[in-house]
Amino acid sequence: MKAGILTIGDEIISGFSVDTNSVWLAQELLKRGITTLKKASVGDDPEAIREVLARWDGKLDLVIATGGLGPTHDDITKTAFCQYFNSELRFDEGYWELLIERFKKRGYDIPANNRAQAEIPIKSVAIPNPVGTAPGLQFRSGTTTFYVLPGVPTEMKAIMTEQILPEMGSGDMVPILTLRTTGIIESALAEKLKHVVSALKGIQVAYLPAYTGVDIRLRALEPVVMTPDVIESAAGEIESILGDLVYARGDTTLEEVVGKLLKERKETLALAESCSGGLASSRITDIPGSSAYMLGAVVAYSNEAKIRHLSVDADTLKAHGAVSEATAREMAEGVKSVFNAHWGVATTGISGPTGGTTAKPVGLVFTAVAGIKRTVVREARLVPHRLPHKAAASQVALNLLRLEILHHG
Amino acid sequence: MKAGILTIGDEIISGFSVDTNSVWLAQELLKRGITTLKKASVGDDPEAIREVLARWDGKLDLVIATGGLGPTHDDITKTAFCQYFNSELRFDEGYWELLIERFKKRGYDIPANNRAQAEIPIKSVAIPNPVGTAPGLQFRSGTTTFYVLPGVPTEMKAIMTEQILPEMGSGDMVPILTLRTTGIIESALAEKLKHVVSALKGIQVAYLPAYTGVDIRLRALEPVVMTPDVIESAAGEIESILGDLVYARGDTTLEEVVGKLLKERKETLALAESCSGGLASSRITDIPGSSAYMLGAVVAYSNEAKIRHLSVDADTLKAHGAVSEATAREMAEGVKSVFNAHWGVATTGISGPTGGTTAKPVGLVFTAVAGIKRTVVREARLVPHRLPHKAAASQVALNLLRLEILHHG
């Protein structure tokens, strides 16, 4: 089945409101084997709405429109659908009684402008709204079914979940699997995988790059002929080629992976952050239960802080500079020692915009992990922009920690 | 001028990626008097792309397409535009040299499949990408100008900001002004402002709530008849009612405001973070130049770390607990002292999901600021969910610092 999602509202097209409805809808449909082929957004404008309906009618099996059904929107959406389907309105006494009752229960008299919400297009079926006053509507035209839903996410989701989705299948019809990689750029990843990917049948492979790594998403193209085993076997093949480059499946984060490893081994962690400025610690402490292994961190932005709180040697700073292999090593070993942790992690680099030189440009970072058996330091040139650099530097450091725990823990 | 925004990518229509690009684009266009009339999203499907281009060509003045310019097999946007505009590709040696050089600087050999990114459609103009490998493209057809940009938000924004938006006006043609508040909930804010808001003519007021505060957006309804003075006068009136609750205008963050205050006063800062876990420090260090005032931080997740690194008295922890007014006070004073800073800021609270009790429920936080003249501690009950709690706790702490600098600095 092929679907289209139409989001309606001046707020959406003028950029004041992020459209999360269509994201949720597309995911729920996909899980049921329904592919969203198109999305469109228009303002509170009946002509623009009708134009989209005309374009999708007969070409798609399912159209879901959201927005413009509230009492303050003058029923623009309902008007547009009535015009398109050439439908009159009928006043639904039963629905009106239900609304009056619902308001009474909450101790209110119903405002007069809610009356319009009991006007149902004759050519539609009203769908009860369990959490709001505007009912959803269903229209049919040939092979295309149209749903019109309120734009308030809780109302839209309630109507979909309780009334519409149950008719569309169980929600586990399309196997989707994401492999998360870090430490390799998208083009190099695609190069490594080109043979295995081109040999896959019926599976779509997508690369989703970010500064912190590239996700590989595997998705069955044809729900009916695929089983989870096929996706699983493709994922296994890719993992065997990529090895350690894959740190997780699904939406698991690197900080969750590291946290799980530390928890299982009953080992502890302390961080010494310079260029990442607290971000790596914040990521570690995003995980519920992280206090079991996270002892603490020192954000050492100044040389004095590195000397005083991390026992970095003043001579090291003088000889090699704050951004150097030697300083990173002493920071990691220092924080491990002062917190008496099993693992010490350090970052020192140049996030920019200023502070770069030819020898040490903006983007340079040294990350270090002082572990149970050894200390390692890695030099990397990351994106030379402050916020992505912080994100990437924290990722490189946590990934180095992951690899050291796995292989030298 | 009328614009359309086309976002391209299977991940967008299948619900794996929230489209923030079109939100940002619509806002930036609106500020320049350009109205976005339509938005559309299609998958990595040349035919669907061409269909949208055909529909908008000649009807809109400006079309901005994002996504699908990467180096891998699923990036087909350039192909679709070449088909639509009937354009061949030429290999741009100069651009290829530039890419090789850029990879070399970061210590990589360029992968062969990046070569395709140096292939420029003959009928387009390439627009340099300051932060990535795929250039933007500009096509013209009659009165319609088309831009094709990478889907990675930082790359799209960099190309827009540096290359395209400067040609589209100054960004203040439609007066929009945002006042940023923190420390008051939306309904209380609306109550305080109801008289002034109802008296405003020709200005739309919207409240945009988040866990870190509520933004108040003032927007001229009719660009032609409005002048910035009218918005300015309304903003001034609101600010005089709200006083200190407003911390900034526009998209200025609280960490920028605090950073500016510290820089002007040549004063320094150190942080002691428990429940916020490094997030407050990370926010402070997000600001370029923050090393001028940020000395460092201690993330003290364990009691031992609070005693050892922040000089918190073991008896205080025993008598009052880690989450207490007394501990917060000693953490702020301790970190101020050990870093020898002008200002010490502390957070201690219960982010959850576990660790709450009836007396000290999940959501509770104590924030403290040890300043030049005094130390203050504030107790607050924030949202009882881990990540929003961390965000809100860091906001409360930084806002307390702002108020102390302003009134007791």
For residues A120-149, average pLDDT: 93
Full-model pTM: 0.81
Encoded amino acid at B308, one letter = R
In this predicted structure, the answer to whether residue B15 has a pLDDT above a threshold of 60 is: yes
Contact list in A for residue B154 (CB cut-off 8 A) is 211, 385, 388
Chain A residue closest in CA terms to B269:
A301
Task: Quote the pLDDT of residue B226.
Answer: 54
Q: Do B301 and A309 touch (CB under 8 A)?
A: no
Task: Quote the pLDDT of residue A181.
Answer: 98
Q: Do B286 and A27 touch (CB under 8 A)?
A: no
For residues A292-319, average pLDDT: 95
Contact list in B for residue A211 (CB cut-off 8 A) is 154
Encoded amino acid at A278, one letter = G
User: What's the gap in Å between the CA of B345 and the closest CA on chain A?
Assistant: 14
Query: Most confidently modeled of A19-23, A75-79, A87-91?
Result: A87-91
For residues A55-62, average pLDDT: 96
For residues B240-256, average pLDDT: 96
What does the pLDDT look like over B351-402, one tens digit per residue? 988 889 999 999 999 999 999 899 999 999 998 889 999 999 999 999 999 9
Q: What angle do CA B46, B50, B56 make, to 5 degrees?
A: 150
In this predicted structure, the answer to whether residue A251 has a pLDDT above a threshold of 70 is: yes
Task: Quote the pLDDT of residue A245.
Answer: 98
In this predicted structure, the answer to whether residue B334 has a pLDDT above a threshold of 90 is: yes
Which of A9, A5, A69, A62 has its CA nearest to residue A34? A62
Contact list in B for residue A186 (CB cut-off 8 A) is 70-72
By Cβ distance, the residue of B74, B113, B285 closest to A278 is B285
User: Which helix (H) or strand (E) element contains residue B326?
Assistant: helix B325-338
d(C-alpha B336, C-alpha A309), whole Å? 14
Q: Do A187 and B114 touch (CB under 8 A)?
A: yes
Task: Quote the pLDDT of residue B206.
Answer: 81
For residues A22-48, average pLDDT: 91
DSSP assignment string, B205-237: EEEEEETTEEEEEEEES-TTT--HHHHHHHHHH
Which of B366, B311, B363 has its CA nearest to residue B337? B311
Which residue's structure tokens are 């309804």? B221
In this predicted structure, the answer to whether residue A381 has a pLDDT above a threshold of 90 is: yes
Task: Quote the pLDDT of residue A75.
Answer: 67
User: What's the gap in Å between the CA of A247 and the closest CA on chain B?
Assistant: 19
Task: Quote the pLDDT of residue A190.
Answer: 92
In this predicted structure, the answer to whether residue B105 has a pLDDT above a threshold of 70 is: yes
Task: Quote the pLDDT of residue A223.
Answer: 59
Candidates B5, B30, B39: best to mutate against A (most CBs of A within 10 A) is B39
d(C-alpha B279, C-alpha B285), whole Å? 10
Q: How many CB atoms lie within 10 A of CB B303?
A: 16
Q: Do A13 and B36 touch (CB under 8 A)?
A: yes
* B10, two tokens: 């299977």
Contact list in A for residue B106 (CB cut-off 8 A) is 363, 381-382
Task: Quote the pLDDT of residue B384.
Answer: 86
Identify the DSSP state of B363. T
Candidates A1, A10, A11, A13: best to mutate against B (most CBs of B within 10 A) is A13
In this predicted structure, the answer to whether residue A226 has a pLDDT above a threshold of 70 is: no
Q: Do A301 and B285 touch (CB under 8 A)?
A: yes
Q: B185 falls in which pLDDT band (50, 70, 90)?
A: confident
d(C-alpha B363, C-alpha B371), whole Å? 26
Of A114-118, A285-289, A379-383, B84-88, give the lowest mean pLDDT range. A114-118
Task: Quote the pLDDT of residue B242.
Answer: 97
Do B37 and B69 contact (CB within 8 A), yes or no? no
What does the pLDDT look like over B30-76, one tens digit per residue? 888 898 999 999 999 999 999 999 999 999 999 999 998 877 766 79
What's the length of chain A? 409
For residues A201-218, average pLDDT: 89
Of A168-177, A337-346, B2-11, B48-57, give the lowest mean pLDDT range. A168-177
Identify the DSSP state of B162. I
Which of A36, A56, A23 has its CA nearest to residue A168? A36
Q: How large a percentage of chain B has pLDDT more than 90?
A: 69
Sheet holding B35-42, edge to edge: A125-127, A136-141, A144-149, A62-66, A2-8, A35-42, B35-42, B2-8, B62-66, B144-149, B136-141, B125-127
For residues A320-331, average pLDDT: 97
Q: What angle do CA A206, A210, A213 make, to 5 degrees?
A: 85
Of A76-80, A132-136, B203-207, give the lowest mean pLDDT range. B203-207
Q: CB-based contacts of B339: which residues, under 8 Å, 6+ apart?
A: A305, B268, B270, B295, B296
Of A76-90, B78-92, B181-195, B269-283, give the lowest mean pLDDT range. B181-195
Q: Is the CATH code 3.30.70.2860 the one for domain B176-249?
A: yes
For residues B100-122, average pLDDT: 87
Q: Do B299 and A299 touch (CB under 8 A)?
A: yes
Encoded amino acid at A396, one letter = V
Q: Do A309 and B289 touch (CB under 8 A)?
A: no
Q: B21 falls in which pLDDT band (50, 70, 90)?
A: very high
User: What's the gap in Å between the CA of B401 and the closest CA on chain A?
Assistant: 18
Q: A71 falls in which pLDDT band (50, 70, 90)?
A: low
Contact list in A for residue B40 (CB cut-off 8 A) is 38-41
Task: Quote the pLDDT of residue A238.
Answer: 97
By Cβ distance, the residue of A41, A281, A286 closest to B299 is A281
Cis peptide before A353 (omega within 30 of 0): yes
A254-408: what fold?
Maf protein (3.90.950)
For residues A65-87, average pLDDT: 85
Q: How large a percentage of chain A has pLDDT more than 70?
A: 96
Q: B326 falls in which pLDDT band (50, 70, 90)?
A: very high
Q: What are phi and psi of A208, to 5 degrees?
A: -120, 95
For B2-168, CATH number? 3.40.980.10
Q: A277 falls in which pLDDT band (50, 70, 90)?
A: very high
Higher local confidence (pLDDT), A187 or A81: A81
In this predicted structure, the answer to whether residue A10 has a pLDDT above a threshold of 90 is: no
By Cβ distance, the residue of B22, B38, B273 closest to A42 is B38
By Cβ distance, the residue of B16, B25, B284 closest to A217 is B16
What is the radius of gyration, based on Cα positions, of chain A?
A: 28
What does the pLDDT look like over B110-120, one tens digit per residue? 888 888 889 99
Contact list in B for residue A20 (CB cut-off 8 A) is 18
For residues B198-224, average pLDDT: 82
Q: Do A298 and B298 touch (CB under 8 A)?
A: yes
Task: Quote the pLDDT of residue B3.
Answer: 96
Q: What is the 3-state secondary structure (H, E, C) of chain A?
A: CEEEEEEECHHHHCCCCCCCHHHHHHHHHHHCCCEEEEEEEECCCHHHHHHHHHHHECCECEEEEECCCCHHHCCHHHHHHHHHHCCCEEECHHHHHHHHHHHHHCCCCCCHHHHHHHEEECCCEEECCCCCCCCEEEEEECCEEEEEECCCHHHHHHHHHHHHHHHHCCCCCCCEEEEEECCCCHHHHHHHHHHHHHHCCCEEEEEEEECCEEEEEEEECCCCCCCHHHHHHHHHHHHHHHHHHEEEECCCCHHHHHHHHHHHHCCCEEEEECCCCCHHHHHHCCCCCHHHCEEEEEEECCHHHHHHHHCCCHHHHHHHCCCCHHHHHHHHHHHHHHCCCCEEEEEEECCCCCCCCCCCCCCEEEEEEECCCCEEEEEEECCCCHHHHHHHHHHHHHHHHHHHHHHHC
Query: Most confidently modeled of A229-233, A364-368, B207-211?
Result: A364-368
Q: Do B309 and A206 touch (CB under 8 A)?
A: no
Query: Could you tell me the residue ranges of all domains in chain A?
Result: 2-168, 176-249, 254-408
